[in-house]
Amino acid sequence: MRVDCEGCAGCCIDWRPVSSVPLDHERRGPRAPLDDTYNLVPLTRDEIRNFVDAGFGDVLTPRLWEAPPGEGVEIDGVEVATIAGNPAFFVGMRKPPKPVGPFGLERTWLRSCTFLDPETLQCRIHDTDLYPDECAEYPGHNLVLEQETECERVERHGGGERLLDETPPEDQHGLLLGPHALGAKVFVHPDPEQLSGVIQRLRDRSLTPADRAEFVGVAVGSHPGSTEVDEERAREARAQALESESWAGDVVDAWSAMAGALGAAAESAPAPDEVEVDRGAPETPGWDTIRADD
């Protein structure tokens, strides 16, 4: 598998506002996400714990799904998909609006991964222990499952070649399916009544830090292959997440406060380093360095 990522980051950016092709692959079928985040990366339990331990609990957010009538549990007037009668969810990384210019665009306000450098379109945690398997192996999982990749969607939108070799990697760590995902990548919240109000806030993009920390705690306290939750581990992780004050969380707040309408020109936005590096974000190498190393 080989991909050309320079000037792209289509898998890290919600580029629906500027897309010339339909981007509804996450919302087909009866169990659509209750949030409107595009390509939310599912993290494993261990990855979530590592983010929390590193002080980045404030950039994690849950995803839950809608269920057909009578097939889930009703919360805030919504039928929520369940496993063993309780709400199912995974945890990913928040995507605030940032001034980015993928595919040759001028700087435009588009929701982007917390850790994406808006200038270079490179990940600030690439080559660190925090870099998720799902990101490191992308689009390998899609290729194994014979599903369209974001690389191919970008090609349909703007031409060119992004997916240079379609051979899936042989050794993939993050592909967890079916029972193997339970408690390791897909989690179960043990108390639907506790989520009253939370589901509406999820749909409104108004989750509170306490809302997000609740799901982070349950995920960290989960047991692989089971719906059981270790309450002590969950409580500790919840508290850690609530106490997090990371540069990445500050970046989410800063960009969200100054962003224009999604899809609008962002030529007057500050230089990314003024918002991110000045708050402690590590710099990215840039593509000249990557090409030189290759």
Per-residue pLDDT of the chain (294 residues; tens, 9 = 90+): 688 899 999 999 999 999 988 898 877 767 899 999 999 999 999 999 999 999 999 999 999 999 999 999 999 999 999 999 999 999 999 999 999 999 999 999 999 999 999 999 999 999 999 999 999 988 877 887 788 898 999 998 888 888 887 877 777 665 666 778 999 999 999 999 999 999 999 999 999 999 999 999 999 999 999 999 999 999 999 999 999 999 999 999 999 999 999 999 999 999 999 999 999 999 999 988 777 776
Q: Where are the domains of the chain?
A: 2-293
| Cβ–Cβ under 8 Å, residues 144 and 187 | no
**Around Cβ 68, how many Cβ atoms within 10 Å?**
11
Peptide linkage before 139 cis (omega within 30 of 0): yes
Query: What would the two tokens of residue 168 be?
Result: 């899936």
* pTM exceeds 0.85, yes or no: yes
